[in-house]
Amino acid sequence: MTNIYKYVYVILYITVFSYSYTLAQQNEQTVISSKTVEDAHYDFLKELHDEESKNSGKILGRLGLTSKDLSEYKRKEYNLYLDSYFPDASSDRVQMFVFELNIKEEKWAEAEMNLLKFVYLFPQSPVYKKVIDRGYTLLQEEKYYSSNRDKLIKLLSEAPKSGKIYKRYHQLLLDVHGLKDKKLTDLFELECWNFLQLYPNRSQCSIVMMWLAKLEQDKGSFHPAVMVYEKLMNLYPASKDYSDALYQVAMLQQEKFNEYNEATVSFRKFLKMFPEHKYVAYAQYRIATMADKNFDDWSTAVEEYDVLAKEYPNFKHTITSLLRMGAIQESKLKERKEAIQTYQRVYLTYPDSTEQSIEALHRSANLYQKSKQYEDAIEQYMTVNSKYPKTDGSLKSLMKCADIYDKKMDDKDKAIEVFNLVITDFPDSRDAKKAKRRIKKLSK
């Protein structure tokens, strides 16, 4: 029995070895066949590149293609090769063919992108010098490039000569994005999609997707923009661009789709996830304004404006938000006392914001007056006069004080005293003339 087992083992070993050898030969044939197809394809493109229209060509001339037809066919063939083999094999030479074709057809934007792409991606190519020399000549001679000539020459001279190709590709996109050339927008967008297809696992994909989403926004294609942002957040949750993508989604939900509930949820998520982000104050402000203007939820609006003022006191919309908070307390919630406190908070916290502080003091004075707390109202008005003298707000405050003394408190002497301040501080105003008439009347 032992000999039988040995015999079976030997037969099994020989069978497995033979099968493995056959598989290896098949794989080798597949590789050789594939390599042969690529070589043959490139050899065909070399001949095609020299092909002329009509009857002068070696391959296609007999077909009688017009120059335009032939150029379109060449472009399709070049793109087919690049779609199949880029950035490997003979992609550098085929990229050169595309560059030369665009020059011949005077497609200057395409030629510009071809030149940059070649220089950034193929610095070690045997035809590098030929291409870059042709590029420098093109930039100098063609008027199309006059506005960007210096920038383009600088990019060519500073293009990376080493490093991983995906990093150089990303640098190309970054530099083209920095040109802010609208004539390159469609080409830039195409290259961004190519990058994502080639290098989906690279961290640079997130910023590339941010660029693509922004392009959609600029075109008014807001729904596709949101989809790109959503894709970014799903594919690259650890990306540093996640926060900006989330903020943009929330903003579009609010401004373009009127999805206020969804926008509020998104902004709250943003605040929770990224409390140190530069847009946190804007997010809080948007939450408050939606509660105020879109939901008419006055109590929530007051709470959210208050959070804004406490958390982000130096934010550019905080003062106006406090004034709005006071207005809601005054007119919507009928909380006169709380409204006065809010208005005084504006003056006490931001005394150097003259216009807003005067407005806040006037509002609190008016509420005191409505409550028949005339002394408190006068104190507010006179604070305006003492802190912001000889301003329009001061003039208005003095006239209001005089009216209260005269008509509400029946104190003619105090009224005359205030009217005299108007005449002294604002001698050329219409109110000064009015004050003189009032003094004359009160003195009878």
Q: Give me the residue spans of the domains in the chain.
A: 41-51+69-184, 374-443
Domain 374-443: top CATH class:
mainly alpha
In degrees and rounded to multiples of 5, residue 109 shows phi and psi of: -65, -45
Q: Determine the pLDDT at residue 304.
A: 99
Q: Determine the pLDDT at residue 68.
A: 79
| Alpha-carbon separation of residue 203 from 199, 211, 241 (angstroms) | 9, 14, 10
Q: How far apart are CA 168 and CA 175, in angstroms?
A: 10
Q: What is the rounded end-to-end Cα distance, in angstroms, of the chain? A: 143
Q: Determine the pLDDT at residue 3.
A: 52
Q: Determine the pLDDT at residue 60.
A: 53
Q: Determine the pLDDT at residue 444.
A: 79
pTM of the model: 0.86
Helices (H), 221-373: 222-235, 242-255, 260-273, 280-289, 298-311, 318-327, 336-349, 354-370
Q: How far apart are CA 403 and CA 89, in angstroms?
A: 91
Q: Determine the pLDDT at residue 52.
A: 85
CB 232 within 8 A of CB 245: yes
Q: Determine the pLDDT at residue 33.
A: 54
Q: Determine the pLDDT at residue 181.
A: 96
Residues, the chain: 444
Q: Determine the pLDDT at residue 36.
A: 84
- Residues (pLDDT < 70) of the chain are 1-35, 54-66
Give 119: exposed, middle or buried? Use CB within 10 Å, 0-12, 13-18, 19+: buried
CB 247 within 8 A of CB 278: no
Q: How far apart are CA 208 and CA 189, in angstroms?
A: 9
Helix axes 67-85, 2-49, angle to 10 degrees: 150
